[in-house]
């Protein structure tokens, strides 16, 4: 949680400095770019990290090293795929003659998105592999150092009035790559490349990952589509405001992500021998732990929303306390309910998570579009709360039913 919190604080500070250094339109493009990176990271998590977290603890040392080698190759393949895709968009954008997205050198953004995403893939892969083996401290020092370097360089660029959209992404990519290279090299003994099993391991992981992959697109549609809806119905300046309010409301998010990275491996180990009682105990404990920071942040953030947002992002973003408060409610719902998804994935019932996101997507695209047309930013915030609440309630009801009437374990076969 310390590692993830510091990384998220650096990302938040980077966004705040960039918002002050560029226009609302430029920051709106930054928000949209981050949403694409989030989508790509979700795909990598679904296809590589989640299957590894679930299956690796069940393997002996030799099999786990071979599986980790396959997962590393899967990660590299996804890096190449995203980079090629972003380059293709760059050249298509160039031939269309439409590169005037922002008042900066935005023509370099598409290739940079591929580079940034690839470095994030590698960094998250090795962090996830270490956590799957419950080697919690193995990567903390290097990640803290890399994150501190990102924050220091970004702050320096801002201080000398040279912070732009382009070099912001360059700094993020460079620091993530340094951390990834160090961790992969330091733990290279845990990796064994067996080419003959690379595709077989991918197909095996896809048995669970396919549902998580659907969840990624469901999550983007249910929770992260609002900047794009605002761009479609309004303009990039409204996207910037929504992005600022969302980033502020999500300050407690690092706790959920850091805790989740630890909770899911613990649930997998705790569910050994289909022990639903132990899983229920871990679920209840996780939810109670999540309540503490999220309700505290909801109280403080909603009371001082306008003052804090103006202090961090500047007075051009003042006057949006209502939107910020509603997004704080949305963040609280998502944070407290996040252990439900981990428990369902541990039970290999990821399809329930998918259905919950489907319900949220219907609310977002249906009610969200109507409310944005009628109320603008406030309509987007209201729809976001409704979508998150509908998703969480569905998962809670479904999980209670599953735990009361558990079905026989249908775990995957050995990946060998």
Same domain, 150 and 223: no
Together in a domain, 133 and 220: no
pLDDT digits (tens, 9 = 90+) for 46-71: 899 888 888 887 788 888 889 899 99
- pTM, entire model: 0.74
Contact 112, 177 (CB under 8 A): no
Same domain, 129 and 245: no
Residue 251 maps to a domain: yes
Is residue 192 very low, low, confident or very high in pLDDT (cuts 50, 70, 90)? Answer: confident
Is the pLDDT at 416 greater than 60? The verdict is: no
Residue 184 and residue 292 in one domain: no
Q: Are residues 17 and 52 in the same domain?
A: yes
pLDDT at residue number 25: 83
Q: Which of 190, 225, 251 is the last residue of a domain?
A: 190
pLDDT at 372 over 50: yes
Give burial (CB, 10 Å; 0-12/13-18/19+) of 213: buried
pLDDT at 204: 84
**Pair (153, 273) in one structural domain:** no
Residue 394 confidence class, pLDDT cut points 50, 70, 90: very high
Q: Token pair 């895709």 is at which residue?
A: 85
pLDDT per residue as tens digits for the range 105-157: 445 688 889 999 999 999 999 988 887 777 777 778 888 999 999 999 999 99
In a domain, 411, yes or no: no
Residue at 33 is within a domain: yes
Q: State residue 100's pLDDT score.
A: 43
Tell me, what's the pLDDT at 196?
84
How far is Cα 125 from Cα 361, in angstroms, rounded to an integer? 28
Asked if residue 274 has pLDDT above 70, the reply is no
Structural domain range at position 228: 207-406
Residue 377, in any domain of the structure:
yes
In a domain, 200, yes or no: no
Q: Could you give the number of structural domains in the chain?
A: 2
Does the residue 279 lie in any domain?
Answer: yes
At residue 411, the pLDDT reads 40
User: Does a structural domain hold residue 413?
Assistant: no
- Answer yes or no: do 379 and 296 share one domain: yes
**pLDDT for 57:** 77
Residues 226 and 153 in one domain: no
- Whether residue 173 is found in the same domain as residue 94: yes
| In-domain check, residue 414 | no
Mark whether 113 and 252 lie in a shared domain: no
Give the residue from 76, 66, 67, 75 showing the smallest Cα distance to 48: 75
pLDDT value, residue 412: 39
Please give the C-alpha separations between residue 30 and each of 8, 154, 259, in angstroms, as whole numbers: 16, 15, 27
Are residues 230 and 99 part of one domain? no
The pLDDT of 340-344, averaged and rounded, is 85
Q: What is the DSSP string of 273-318?
A: GG-HHHHHHHHHHHHHHHHHHHHHHHHHHHHSHHHHHHHHH-GGG-
Q: Which of 190, 222, 247 is the last residue of a domain?
A: 190
pLDDT per residue as tens digits for the range 196-253: 888 988 888 888 788 778 878 887 888 788 998 998 898 888 999 999 999 899 887 7
Asked if 117 and 223 sit in the same domain, the reply is no
């Amino acid at each position: 949680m310390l590692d993830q919190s510091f990384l998220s604080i650096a990302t938040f500070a980077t966004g705040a400095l960039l918002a002050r250094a560029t226009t609302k339109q430029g920051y709106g493009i930054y928000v949209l770019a981050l949403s694409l990176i989030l989508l790509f990271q979700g795909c990598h998590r679904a296809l590589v990290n989640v299957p590894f977290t679930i299956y690796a603890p069940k393997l002996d040392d030799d099999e786990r090293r071979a599986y980790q080698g396959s997962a590393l190759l899967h990660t590299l393949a996804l890096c190449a795929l995203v980079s090629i895709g972003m380059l293709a968009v760059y050249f298509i954008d160039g031939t269309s003659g439409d590169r005037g997205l922002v008042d900066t050198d935005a023509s370099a953004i598409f290739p940079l998105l591929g580079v940034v995403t690839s470095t994030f893939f590698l960094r998250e892969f090795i962090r996830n592999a270490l956590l799957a083996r419950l080697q919690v401290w193995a990567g903390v020092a290097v990640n803290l150092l890399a994150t501190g370097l990102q924050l220091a360089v970004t702050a320096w660029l801002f201080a000398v009035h040279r912070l732009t959209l382009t070099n912001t992404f360059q700094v993020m990519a460079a620091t993530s790559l340094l951390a990834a290279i160090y961790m992969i090299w330091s733990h290279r003994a845990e990796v064994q490349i067996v080419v003959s099993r690379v595709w077989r391991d991918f197909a095996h992981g896809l048995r669970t990952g396919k549902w998580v992959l659907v969840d990624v697109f469901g999550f983007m549609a249910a929770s992260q589509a609002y900047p794009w809806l605002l761009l479609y119905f309004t303009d990039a300046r409204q996207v910037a405001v929504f992005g600022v309010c969302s980033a502020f409301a999500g300050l407690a998010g690092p706790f959920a992500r850091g805790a989740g990275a630890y909770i899911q491996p613990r649930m997998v180990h705790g569910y050994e021998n289909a022990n639903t009682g132990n899983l229920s105990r871990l679920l209840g404990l996780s939810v109670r732990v999540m309540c503490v920071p999220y309700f505290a942040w909801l109280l403080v953030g909603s009371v001082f929303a306008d003052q804090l947002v103006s202090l961090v992002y500047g007075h051009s973003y003042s006057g949006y306390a209502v939107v910020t408060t509603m997004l704080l409610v949305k963040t609280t719902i998502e944070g407290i309910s996040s252990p439900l998804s981990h428990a369902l994935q541990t039970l290999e019932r990821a399809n329930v998570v998918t259905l919950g996101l489907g319900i949220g997507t219907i609310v977002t695209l249906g009610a969200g579009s109507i409310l944005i047309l009628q109320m603008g930013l406030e309509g987007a915030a209201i729809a976001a709360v409704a979508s998150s609440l509908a998703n969480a309630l569905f998962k809670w009801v479904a999980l209670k039913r599953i735990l009361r009437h558990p079905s026989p374990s249908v775990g995957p076969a050995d990946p060998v």
